[in-house]
């Protein structure tokens, strides 16, 4: 009996020991698995954190060129002064998607803007529309600089007294479209008056004149290559917003140097929406119009021939404008010889004959990088292709200009 119980005891101890050993092995493996998993998770988190940090470093969040949350760089008007920090060369603002909710609630026309004036207040602000306060004049009317009672400076566009139906339509079109847009590269509508024989548009005042005036040297300030590149990017961003990100697609129809205003920091803003039209919501569709509108030299030849309007008509005008920015010449100049009257044809001929650097505006201060200049010129020619199918869209144009900008800063050793 003793040996019986002794053997039972030995067997029990054996199984107890075996069970304990197996349990510890399983627990050890489980613990190891947990430890390995934990380490993998930690490494993953560290990697993701590192990637996120890299991304955060690359994108400087500021007021946007396309959307308010996207990055941008302020350019000092002093020639050749370009930011040197690599953090100031972020990816293109167009890579930041717009917030769809921001543009979905345009104000009604009876609640536009933040400025509400009577005709008496307007007369006082403009000193009875004094010629000394005149900023410019066009087919629609005259633009005056005005100071409100609170000190705010505004621009007031007063319609001509010839109250044709076309002018009324242009006025209504401009305020309806301006009410739908809000972008740093587009002039902002603050208010309007449509009463009796008076029709006025009250808009943001942009103090530094037009791009054309600066190309002509009217303000005595130099536009160096870097400033011209920044201005081109600003215009492209403004047009991209109109074509893609406004509540409804807008085609400007009158993109030209005299419709580009410059701020005191040399940022560009597109203005004058009198000829603008809403685009088609269906991709590829076109507007067939009964009358072509625009400015000679900037008009899309396919639009003139077919009366079909698309955003690519603005792309053509931008291509002509880009050549104007680089050469300083107006699109059509009757004072020139027959071979040089139409600037874009002359520029194309020069470029094809390896005389590209002859196109550089003699007023442009500082050295010009030949490779970068040629890249911009090639892009301008693509935008101004005779048929719209061969032209890029404005978003692609803006992205390519931004890429040119990055290369320019790198080649200049300023990154």
**Residue 22 resides in a domain:** no
Q: Which of 204, 237, 266 is the last residue of a domain?
A: 204
Report, as an integer, the average pLDDT of 144-160. 90
The pLDDT-based confidence of 136 (bands split at 50, 70, 90) is confident
pLDDT at 50 over 50: no
What is the domain-level CATH number for residue 261? 1.10.510.10
* Highest-pLDDT range among 130-144, 159-173, 282-296, 332-346: 332-346
pLDDT tens, position by position, 356-369:
999 999 999 888 99
pLDDT tens, position by position, 238-252:
999 999 999 889 999
355 and 332 both lie in a single domain: yes
Whole-angstrom distance, CA of residue 20 vs CA of residue 27: 10
273 and 288 both lie in a single domain: yes
For 201, other C-beta atoms within 10 Å of its C-beta total: 27
Residue whose tokens read 């002859």: 358
Does 157 belong to an annotated binding site? yes
215 and 259 both lie in a single domain: yes
271 and 356 both lie in a single domain: yes
Q: Which of 204, 220, 235 is the last residue of a domain?
A: 204
298 and 396 both lie in a single domain: yes
265 and 353 both lie in a single domain: yes
**Residue 5 resides in a domain:** no
Report, as an integer, the average pLDDT of 192-219. 90
Residue whose tokens read 């009217």: 218
Q: Which residues span the domain enclosing 236? A: 86-102+207-411
pLDDT number for residue 85: 34
pLDDT tens, position by position, 308-356:
999 999 999 999 999 999 999 999 999 999 999 999 999 999 999 999 9
**Residue 33 resides in a domain:** no
Specify the higher pLDDT residue, 156 or 45.
156
371 and 274 both lie in a single domain: yes
Report, as an integer, the average pLDDT of 188-202. 87
What is the 3-state secondary structure of the chain? CHHHHHHHHHHHHHHHHHHHHHHHHHHHHHHHHHHHHHHHHHHHHHHHHHHHHHHHHHCCCCCCCCCCCCCCCCCCCCCCCCCCCHHHCCCCHHHCCCCHHHHCCCCCHHHCCCCCCCHHHHHHHCCCCCHHHEEEECCCEEEEEEECCCCCEEEEEEECCCCCHHHHHHHHHHHHHHCCCCCCCECCEEEEEEECCEEEEEEECCCCCEHHHHHHCCCCCCCCHHHHHHHHHHHHHHHHHHHHHCCCCEECCCCCHHHEEECCCCCEEECCCCCCEECCCCCCCCEECCCCCCCCCCCCHHHHHHCEECHHHHHHHHHHHHHHHHHCCCCECCCCCHHHCEHHHHHHHHHHCCCHHHHCCCCCCCCCCHHHHHHHHHHHHHHCCCCHHHCCCHHHHHHHHHHHHHHHHHHCCCC
pLDDT number for residue 176: 79
154 and 286 both lie in a single domain: no
pLDDT number for residue 116: 79
Q: Which of 151, 172, 204 is the last residue of a domain?
A: 204
277 and 305 both lie in a single domain: yes
How buried is 294 (Cβ within 10 angstroms: 0-12 exposed, 13-18 middle, 19+ buried)?
Answer: buried
What is the domain-level CATH number for residue 179? 3.30.200.20
pLDDT at 201 over 80: yes
Catalytic residue, from 234, 254, 272, 393: name it.
254
Residue pair 62/70 in contact (Cβ under 8 Å)? The answer is yes
pLDDT at 299 over 50: yes
Q: Which two tokens stand for residue 86?
A: 């690599």
Q: Which two tokens stand for residue 308?
A: 């079909």
Q: Is 254 a catalytic residue?
A: yes
Residue pair 232/65 in contact (Cβ under 8 Å)? The answer is no
**Residue 174 resides in a domain:** yes
**Residue 339 resides in a domain:** yes
pLDDT number for residue 259: 95
Q: Which two tokens stand for residue 13?
A: 């101890």
160 and 233 both lie in a single domain: no
* Highest-pLDDT range among 17-21, 148-152, 357-361: 357-361
91 and 114 both lie in a single domain: no
The total number of structural domains that make up the chain:
2
**Residue 228 resides in a domain:** yes
306 and 401 both lie in a single domain: yes
Specify the higher pLDDT residue, 174 or 20.
174
Residue whose tokens read 């893609």: 244
pLDDT tens, position by position, 208-239:
999 999 999 888 778 999 999 999 999 999 99
**Residue 146 resides in a domain:** yes
pLDDT number for residue 57: 34
**Residue 18 resides in a domain:** no
């Amino acid at each position: 009996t003793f040996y019986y119980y002794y053997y039972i005891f030995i067997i029990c101890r054996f199984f107890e020991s075996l069970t304990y050993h197996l349990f510890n092995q399983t627990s050890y493996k489980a613990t190891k698995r947990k430890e390995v998993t934990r380490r993998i998770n930690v490494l993953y988190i560290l990697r993701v954190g590192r990637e996120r940090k890299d991304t955060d470093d690359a994108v400087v969040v500021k007021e946007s060129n396309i959307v308010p949350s996207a990055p941008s760089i302020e350019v000092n008007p002093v020639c050749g002064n370009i930011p040197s920090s690599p953090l100031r060369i972020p990816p293109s603002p167009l890579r930041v998607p717009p917030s769809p909710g921001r543009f979905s609630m345009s104000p009604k026309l009876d609640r536009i803007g933040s400025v509400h004036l009577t005709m008496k207040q307007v007369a006082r602000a403009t000193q009875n529309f004094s010629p000394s306060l005149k900023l410019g004049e066009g087919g629609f009317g005259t633009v005056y600089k005005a100071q409100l009672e609170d000190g705010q400076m505004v621009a007031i566009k007063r319609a001509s007294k010839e109250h044709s139906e076309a002018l009324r339509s242009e006025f209504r079109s401009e305020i309806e479209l301006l009410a739908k847009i809000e972008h740093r590269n587009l002039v902002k509508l603050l208010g309007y008056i449509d009463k009796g024989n008076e029709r006025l548009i009250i808009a943001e005042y942009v103090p530094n004149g037009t791009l054309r005036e600066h190309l002509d040297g009217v303000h005595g300030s130099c536009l160096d290559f870097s400033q011209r590149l920044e201005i081109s990017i600003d215009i492209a961003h403004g047009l991209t917003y109109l074509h893609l990100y406004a509540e409804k697609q807008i085609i400007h129809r009158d993109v030209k140097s005299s419709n580009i205003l410059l701020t005191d920091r040399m940022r560009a803003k597109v203005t004058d929406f009198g000829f603008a039209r809403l685009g088609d919501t269906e991709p590829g569709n076109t507007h067939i119009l009964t009358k072509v509108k625009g400015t000679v030299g900037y008009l899309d030849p396919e639009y003139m021939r077919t009366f079909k309007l698309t955003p690519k008509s603005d792309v053509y005008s931008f291509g002509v404008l880009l050549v104007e920015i680089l050469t300083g010449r107006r699109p059509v100049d009757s004072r020139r010889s027959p071979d040089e009257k139409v600037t874009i044809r002359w520029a194309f001929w020069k470029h094809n004959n390896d005389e590209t650097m002859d196109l550089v505006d003699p007023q442009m201060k500082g050295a010009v990088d030949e490779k970068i200049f040629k890249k911009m010129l090639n892009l301008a020619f693509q935008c101004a292709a005779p048929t719209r199918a061969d032209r890029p869209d404005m978003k692609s144009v803006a992205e390519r200009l931004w890429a040119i900008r990055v290369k320019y800063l790198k080649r200049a050793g300023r990154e």
